[in-house]
Copies of this chain bind each other. A is one copy, B any other.
């Protein structure tokens, strides 16, 4: 049975010492979120995740969701009760506006809680996660009436939500959507079509499910410019906001899949179901992207979350499992063998994971703080800069954190040897559960293209230049600090390589866009390394300040951070050079073969 301990202290260190959350107190809601309050909220969330959700993780994997002949779906044993406790605790609306029943806490707090939830039980966490996503889309694009009708229910978790994009013939390329929407006299639409891979499409946790559905209004233009967004509730809300008549949307089957068995991944059939337009006609993709950007950050967090819990279990096992002797001589003469944590190759894996996890968490919280600026600041220029940051970092966080998060679950599994391959220890479940995060909400290749093809050139490269300027300014400010040199110097090189790669695209991709496409995934990972390397500088700086302040009982932890940061700089950051070499190789050999040769 896997163990999990939510990293509350890590989050507090990042929010307080690294990012100085008190500096954001001018934003609405922040001043109320005192350090004590945040600590109490995180501790409470940690308790819930550790005690309620963690024990249900293997249950969910083993039992999966069951669809009955009437189309209803039963979630695994214990999920219903856990969901009731989740909603009772108000955990879905931690950052939602107070007017809709939320607590208005900083998004960074919600993202931290999201990490805890996903570490404990990612299949379960998707149910409230999709409610949050649906709420975000309706908040941004819904009418006042729709907001009043749906948001309080979604925020409270009485109702959950779904995102209906994919159809059998189209996933990435939403221009191929065929689901139709026929306008009705009363202003509603009749929705008809089949959607696949719908997470939380049908279940027994909430009294209603609010489907957000992409469909094509009869007569709309072809392609992406003819797609509209609809809200299609499982039960049609009555005038007083209760769940009314059953709508013509049903779960046709549950997909048999590699992991996240506790979440119901449904084929949803719309047979003239009643729906209402959200936002403008034919502007559905725009509206959906609001939802997807939030969702992409949340999926990046899933990668981190599974890496963290897999790491914790691997570290625990490595301290207990006995095999062989340390290369430098037996460490535990009294035992028949040393614990495997004495072996450098086991350490290498553990250090690789923690060096990623700590910086990835920083990147998420930093970006979450910027998202609050983007949404809550009174200063338009500040909002724009924060929004630029979000747009730039969304594909990086989604792509890099899920690729590396998955790789880390594989690494953690490896530390268990044969015991990692059998179900008992739960390690192989982390691998299977983590795998989907590289695929959904835009496969990682799409994230890389989004970064290179859209986010880099947008507004004359404004977002990228701002990021370069910030990191460069940091390097300039701290470049002469000898104690920070082990972190700043390697970052300087990696930043230079990222800038070279960017310049190479500018010079070579205009003439042949395949040169950008062939290097896009490497660019995304190079970008991720620079962002994580920058996070390590910030962490090291704060850690040194803590050591200097002295004697608060955290010196050992702080020294551990400094060593872990050095490991990152020495072992992980140098991959930047490899990514640059691959980018500069260009598209020639990648595209050399005719399709028939494959």
Contacts and interface: CB of A to CB of B under 8 A. Distances in A.
A448 interface: yes
B518 A597 contact: no
Given A322-B173, A517-B343, A589-B570, A556 B423 contact: no
Nearest to A331: B595
A422 B517 contact: no
Contacts of A176: 322-323, 336-337
B414 A597 contact: no
Contact of A345 (B197, B315, B413, B518): B518
A155 to B, nearest CB: 29
Interface string A505-520: 0000000111011101
Nearest to A429: B258
Given A344-B591, A345-B449, A414-B445, 16 more contacts: A173-B322, A176-B337, A197-B418, A197-B422, A257-B422, A327-B517, A339-B595, A342-B595, A343-B517, A344-B520, A348-B518, A348-B521, A556-B597, A563-B589, A566-B592, A567-B589
Nearest to A419: B171
Nearest to A520: B345
Interface string A446-464: 0011000000000000000
A170 B340 CA distance: 12
A172 interface: yes
Contacts of A445: 343, 345-346, 349, 414
Interface string A536-572: 0000000000000000000011001001101100110
A592 B563 contact: yes
A297 to B, nearest CB: 20
Contacts of A417: 171-172, 439, 443
Interface of A: 166, 169-173, 175-176, 196-197, 255-259, 265, 315, 318-319, 322-324, 327-328, 336-337, 339, 341-351, 354, 406, 410, 413-414, 417-418, 420-424, 428, 431-432, 435-436, 438-440, 443-445, 448-449, 512-514, 516-518, 520-521, 556-557, 560, 563-564, 566-567, 570-571, 574-575, 577-578, 581-582, 585, 587-595, 597-598
Contact of A257 (B169, B428, B590): B428
Contacts of A439: 414, 417-418, 420-421
A444 B196 CA distance: 39
A349 B438 CA distance: 14
Contacts of A342: 595
Nearest to A329: B513
A214 to B, nearest CB: 15
A597 B323 contact: no
A347 B591 contact: yes
A529 to B, nearest CB: 12
A590 to B, nearest CB: 5
A341 B594 CA distance: 10
Contact of A341 (B574, B582, B595): B595
Contacts of A428: 257-258, 432, 435
Nearest to A516: B327
Contacts of A582: 570-571, 574
Given A176-B337, A574-B581, A590 B348 contact: yes
Contacts of A418: 166, 171, 196-197, 439-440
A514 B563 CA distance: 17
Instruction: Give the one of A354, A588, A592 with max B CB within 10 A.
Output: A592
Given A256-B424, A598-B315, A345 B448 contact: yes
A209 to B, nearest CB: 20
Given A176-B336, A256-B423, A590 B347 contact: yes
A255 B422 contact: yes
A435 B421 contact: yes
28 contacts: A166-B418, A171-B323, A172-B323, A172-B324, A173-B322, A176-B336, A197-B422, A256-B424, A259-B421, A339-B595, A341-B598, A342-B595, A344-B514, A344-B520, A344-B591, A345-B520, A345-B521, A346-B445, A351-B589, A406-B410, A414-B438, A414-B439, A421-B436, A428-B432, A428-B435, A432-B432, A556-B594, A557-B597
Contacts of A336: 176
A403 B258 CA distance: 20
Nearest to A326: B514
A69 B179 CA distance: 52
A431 B592 contact: no
Contacts of A589: 351, 563, 566-567, 570-571
A344 B592 CA distance: 11
A256 B420 CA distance: 11
A319 B169 contact: no
A319 B595 contact: yes
Contacts of A172: 323-324, 417
Given A445-B345, A449-B345, A590 B351 contact: yes
B598 A350 contact: yes
Contacts of A257: 421-423, 428
